[in-house]
Homo-oligomer: A and B are copies of this chain.
Amino acid sequence: MSLFNRVIQDPASFCLDVETLGECQIESPARLRQFVTNGSRAVMAYEVELLKTAMSKLNGALPSFEMAGPHSKIYHDPAWSRAAILTAGGLCPGLNHVIKGLVEILAFDYGIRLIYGIRYGYSGLIPRFAHAPIMLNPDEVDTIHEIGGTILGSSRGEQDTREMVDTLTRMNINLLFCIGGDGTLRAARDVADECRKRRLAVSVVGIPKTIDNDLNFVGRSFGFETAVAETSPILSSAHTEAKGTNHGIGLVKLMGRDSGFIAAYATVANPIVNYCLIPEMDFEMDGPSGLLAALDGRFNSGKNHAVIVVAEGAGQRLISGAAELRDASGNLLKKDIGEFLKLAIDAHFKRTGRDVSIKYFDPSYSIRSVPAKGTDAIRCYLLARNAVHAAMAGRTNCVISNISGNAYTLVPTQLVCTERQQVDLDSDLWKAVLDATGQLHSFNPNINVRQAL
């Protein structure tokens, strides 16, 4: 990246010739000025910041990543290797494609025959749940990439690490592949640590799953592209419903607990959205710069409809009255911003006497349960290949990352669980959202403060 993105040495090669044509430097338009990034800023700034934070948490060591890929010398003897695969956490497009990839590379490339499918996440490693594992082979997984979900089943919730390592030992498993999000990867880290403590030669390799695309050092996560593509017809439906009545409002809640990537991408991919609300931004409902005033303004200006996209983690400050809730995996459950908005908007217009009709869409389960498509499906297969190569070469306590373009690297599991990736409100992406929506800043009371910084 540093190679390609250096500021150009000889701008004359593709700038209008200042000498011959004369100087012509004009101020950017006002709207644009607040987003200007200066053509020569370092693209890596954000990532460098991230690295520094990560380093400080890793006792000052600079993380640098081994390239993924097959090795000429391997650690585990294929002849006696036994692999196990598990999926944990919520569904995500591509889980079965990853499973298929793991099984095929283990079998075709390394000739490994004993591949266990652990049922229902980590609970499948706890004897008392009595979820017998299933045997996997290339025939079994031949067409599973065509269906969504996971053939292994999944679960949430922590299990006892020592009990799980006991099971791995009893089953003689030396290759464990864990497909899941940060809860899953923290557990994988604990299992790897416990194995090391017991001096067990077990490679524990993670394939990071986050439909929200919010894990650090992972690059683009599998399932995300498919999820974004699936939102488009839903947004079109919301648009159609909104336009179908006078003062119709289509309100769509999308996934994104901590990061608004899906909401932001969905908005630019199908730019019929008028307001896009994500966790990274602050916003008010009331007051002259609030969302309700923005809606009033829109309708007063003669527009007859509005489409609102809201990430599930947005506006949590607004609904902070009730007590905190956590799901079985310990994830903080967001209170439902979708329902809150629906009621608040409805109440507002009842109060102001405008006859609006709100249609509410909550399509998350439909979006996450489809199979991965196209280039997203390829990512699944390549992640799986490299996970097997890494495990066979004796790597452990790491995940496979598609950190840049077609390059895959190994990243210490700990690093991936450390912090979340979020939408940068100064990025090209967010500016594209603002242009695509024509979204007013005015419902964000702090906008001027932030812009001034």
Contact = CB atoms under 8 A, between A and B. Distances in A.
Question: Which residue of A11, A72, A119, A382 has the most chain B CB atoms within 10 A of its CB atom?
Answer: A72
A67 B41 contact: yes
A6 interface: yes
Interface stretch (A161-169, A345-353, A396-404): A396-404
Given A13-B412, A241-B369, 17 more contacts: A7-B64, A16-B202, A16-B394, A31-B108, A32-B110, A41-B67, A42-B67, A100-B271, A143-B272, A145-B270, A146-B147, A155-B246, A268-B381, A269-B378, A271-B381, A363-B363, A382-B432
Interface stretch (A20-28, A278-286, A311-319): A20-28
A4 B24 CA distance: 40
5 pairs of A and B residues whose beta carbons are closest in the complex: A229-B374, A149-B240, A14-B398, A6-B64, A25-B73
A301 interface: no
Interface in A368-412: 369-370, 373-375, 377-378, 381-382, 385-386, 392-398, 403-410, 412
A65 B361 contact: no
A43 B43 CA distance: 20
A237 interface: yes
Contacts of A137: none
Interface in A29-77: 29, 31-33, 35-44, 47, 51, 61-62, 64-77
A296 interface: no
Contacts of A396: 14-16
A303 interface: no
A407 B2 CA distance: 11
Contact of A44 (B3, B27, B432): B3
A237 B370 contact: yes
B39 A69 contact: yes
9 contacts: A6-B65, A16-B203, A26-B75, A26-B76, A38-B69, A237-B366, A238-B365, A241-B369, A381-B436
A181 to B, nearest CB: 14
A64 B1 CA distance: 10
A41 B15 contact: no
